[in-house]
Chain A
Amino acid sequence: MGKGAVNKLRNNVENSLNEDELFEFAEFDEEEAKRGGYSNYSYWRSTWKVFISNRLAAFLLILIAVLLVFTFIQPQLPNQKSPTKIHNHPETNLPLKNVKPNEEFWFGTNSIGQDLWARVWSGTRTSLLIAIIVGCFEAVVGITIGALWGYVRWLDRPITEIYNIINNIPKTIILILMTYILKPSMFTMIFAICLTSWIDMARFVRNLTIIIRDREYNLASKCLGTPTRRIITKNLLPYLVSVIMLTIALSVPSTIGYEVFLTYIGLGLPVSTPSLGNLINEGRLLILNPSQRYQLIFPAIVISIITISFYILGNVFSDAADPKNHV
């Protein structure tokens, strides 16, 4: 039964032009009656459909996937050079300083003779690693504190006060202060960025938790005997997963931004660690010398591609995850 039967009926009826027959009763099919509603809705499928229907996002997703894979397997590929090795001329044994891009050194060498190609990818690895650690920390700590903040009533006051204090000071100032006090290292940088980054996430999750706690549909769900676990997985989690994805995606451009900024004011990673910030900073010194600008341009392009892609992907995804944009 179902659609087929009705169509058959329809055809039969149309073919037999007998008018009287038309005024006979038709069979009633309950399934057919229900067919009008949109029942086959799936949150994740719709999210994915909306996301992928944005051509720019689809392109950037592929681009970033390729870039990520390449960044992390690059050292294992054949004929790759060490990012920190200083290359000397095989005959004169002098360092190959400021060699322009050629077949040997794809991005050229820097002012002390290191391979820029290797340094750019090594720097990208460092920066992405920091960003991912920060993003994960942000998600874990932000969600934990946010959930406690929203759910445990007596914690609301103290955490709100802490929030007000941290939120009142500009983030860059906290960053500067922390990195100034501690020794410059990868840990310092991650620590300093994490110190401030969880706060927005926590506030967001707190507001979400309060909504989840008090919204009528959840109350209704509870009254119907839905276990809390199911309310969390069905009503809260889809929302939260998209928030986490957005947070991690946006933490890439912002963390790279902080890293470049801190390096710029002299509080970045040690010069011996290649990072995007260090590369930009080295390149900056050559800005007045047009023939050596490639040392600035290459890292700048890579940074721009990565940050813009993650920024757009994060935003498109969070739009796609909004049920209002599903049909």
Chain B
Amino acid sequence: MLKYSIKRLLQSLFTLFIIVTVVFLLMRLLPEEGYFGDAYEKLDEAQKEAILTNMGLRDPMHIQLMNFYKNLIKGDLGESITFRPKVPVMEIIKDKVPYSLYFGLASIGISLLVGVGLGIAMARNKSKFWDKFGTGYVVFIRAVPAAVYFLFKQIYITGVFKLPMLFKIDNPKTWILPTISMSLGGIASYAMWIRRYMVDELNKDYVKLARAKGLESKKIMVRHVFRNAFVPMAQYLPATILFTIAGSIYIESLYSIPGMGGLLVEVIKRQDNTLVQALVLIYSSIGIVGLFLGDILMAIFDPRIKLQRKGGAR
């Protein structure tokens, strides 16, 4: 177990290193306007060169890269250029975290609870009402782009329940809609996966044996099927949770919630290179940390993992 964890950790660090490098190099391909903000038009060539040199962008690439690593280890991701000029990126992001955290946690709670419940109901009543209802919901949410169904919801639900459309910190009523909206996708995914894995498990021989030895079907569901169906989900759970906490790009900008996801949309529109770079790095790292935790979690649940997986793709 420990050996597996360490191996997996080193693998993740290596992946992280590659990603950081690739993202940094890609960002160098960007048009240089992005480093000047509104001042771009007014400056002449010599001034621009001076600024770029000053920022270290005229150094040889490997030196730039080394500096970048050094700063990164210190936790310094640079300064904002256009969004809030000269303000350290970390400081800007720090302000955003609490909002994303609140909405993320709330929506995970709701979607796990409702999604898993719906999934179990679907698997237990295959081809009956709950299954059909759930499948319809899952198909709708997974097929139709989120932006489209959010807009439907904005128009109709908001009207029916007389809920305000935009988020205001001091008005608790405005917290409801974004939380529910964020849960819609999660509910669909959890319901779909739980149903699929449970139906898979239900067809396995050990369920027949459990029936043959006289276990009630309710107990078979709880003790054997659900537990086993949850294991493959465990792998993706940490990543999903982390991403949800990190903020929904759609929802936050739709409701103007001052979180990290909304920030990403904002800085893309403002072409703030350092902030985009920082956020892309943060989101990628979250992905890697999430999958790492997922693998560890899975290894804890499933005793077979340590033997089976010798490298190779999942």
Contacts and interface: CB of A to CB of B under 8 A. Distances in A.
Interface in A174-217: 176-177, 180-181, 203, 206
B169 interface: no
Contact of A261 (B23, B147, B280): B147
B283 A261 contact: no
Interface string A81-117: 0000000000000000000000000000000000000
A288 B253 CA distance: 16
B26 A181 contact: yes
B139 A164 contact: no
Most chain B CB atoms below 10 A, which of A163, A293, A307: A307
A312 interface: yes
B123 to A, nearest CB: 16
A264 B148 CA distance: 10
A304 interface: yes
A160 B311 CA distance: 8
Contact of B23 (A177, A253, A264, A266): A177
A220 interface: no
A168 B250 contact: no
B269 interface: yes
Nearest to A178: B26
Contacts of B23: 177
21 contacts: A156-B312, A160-B312, A165-B15, A168-B291, A169-B283, A173-B280, A176-B280, A177-B23, A177-B26, A180-B268, A181-B27, A253-B143, A261-B249, A265-B249, A265-B268, A266-B265, A267-B268, A287-B155, A304-B140, A304-B144, A311-B143
6 closest A-B pairs by beta carbon, nearest first, are: A311-B143, A260-B145, A257-B145, A307-B143, A253-B143, A265-B265
In which size bucket is the chain A interface?
35 or more
A307 B313 contact: no
B284 A168 contact: yes
Interface string A5-36: 00000000000000000000000000000000
A173 B283 contact: yes
B148 A303 contact: yes
A170 B288 CA distance: 9
Given A260-B148, A265-B249, A308-B140, A173 B313 contact: no
B147 A264 contact: yes
Given A168-B19, A169-B284, A308 B268 contact: no
Contact of B139 (A177, A267, A308): A308
B243 A164 contact: no
Nearest to A283: B151
Interface of A: 156-157, 160, 163-165, 167-170, 172-173, 176-177, 180-181, 203, 206, 253, 256-257, 260-261, 264-267, 280, 283-284, 287-288, 293, 296, 300, 303-304, 307-308, 310-312
Given A177-B23, A256-B145, A303-B144, 17 more contacts: A156-B312, A160-B311, A164-B15, A168-B284, A168-B288, A170-B283, A170-B284, A170-B287, A173-B283, A176-B280, A177-B26, A203-B313, A253-B142, A260-B148, A261-B249, A266-B269, A310-B143
A156 to B, nearest CB: 8
A198 to B, nearest CB: 14
Contact of A163 (B152, B155, B313): B313
Interface string B254-281: 0000000000110011000000100010
B243 A170 contact: yes
A167 B292 CA distance: 12
B151 A280 contact: yes
B221 to A, nearest CB: 23
A251 to B, nearest CB: 12
Contacts of A296: 151, 155
Given A170-B243, A265-B253, A280 B147 contact: yes
Contact of B264 (A163, A169, A265, A284): A265
Nearest to A296: B151
Interface string B223-263: 00000000000000000000100000110010000000000
Contacts of B314: 167, 203
B30 interface: yes
A260 B254 CA distance: 14
Contacts of A156: 312
Contacts of A167: 291, 314
Contacts of A176: 264, 268, 280
B139 A304 contact: no
Contacts of A265: 249, 253, 264-265, 268-269
A242 B246 CA distance: 37
A223 B249 CA distance: 56
A166 B165 CA distance: 37
B143 A308 contact: yes
